[in-house]
Amino acid sequence: MSTVRPVGLSVAAIGVEESELVPLGLGGAGELLPPADYARAGWYADGPVPGDPGPAVLAGHVDSKAGPAVFFRLGDLRPGDRIVVRRSDGADAVFAVDTVQRHPKDAFPTGAVYGPVPGAALRLITCGGSFDRRRSSYRDNVVVFASALPG
């Protein structure tokens, strides 16, 4: 297992500049658990490191009761927007947005997000759509699909 890990994130198009990424795991139902801190983005630590082969996954909250969170503007990204993930080995993994999609949480595109891809890919995930007050949760997920740019 690699000791390299992602240590920062820059998404200039939406004003995200993170100097720390927290490791994320899975909950009891197999769902990716979001960061405990609404101001932080995290990476799925059992998946690929951004820049390595496979789909690396980063997640963050859209908002909290206190206001906008780290991925508040994730849905504003457009094809071609650049995403830079800084790695602990000193390398930057640079990606370009391919598409931004919204899916109901009960129809999450697990295969497309976590399935095999040629080369390195990146997925950014947050909540979206309408808010279900009864469940205190958004009904959808916003998923950004991005491909690695040549380094």
Closest by CA to 124, choosing from 99, 151, 92, is 99
Q: What is the pLDDT of residue 2?
A: 66
Distances, alpha carbon 83 to alpha carbons 2, 65, 74, 77, 123, in Å: 22, 27, 11, 10, 10
**Per-residue pLDDT for 135 more than 60?**
yes
- Judge whether 126 and 60 are in contact, CB under 8 Å: yes
Enumerate domains of the chain plus CATH numbers.
6-148 (2.40.260.10)
Q: Which residues, other chains included, contact 130 with Cβ-Cβ below 8 Å and sequence gap of 6+?
A: 138, 139, 140
Instruction: Find residue 103's DSSP bridge partners.
Output: 141
CA dihedral 21, 22, 28, 29 (to 10 degrees): -10
Inform me whether the pLDDT recorded for 7 exceeds 80: yes
Give 57-115 pLDDT, tens digit per residue. 999 999 998 999 999 999 999 999 999 999 999 999 999 999 999 999 999 999 999 99
Mean pLDDT across the chain: 94
Enclosing H/E stretch for 110: helix 110-114
Which pTM value belongs to this model? 0.94
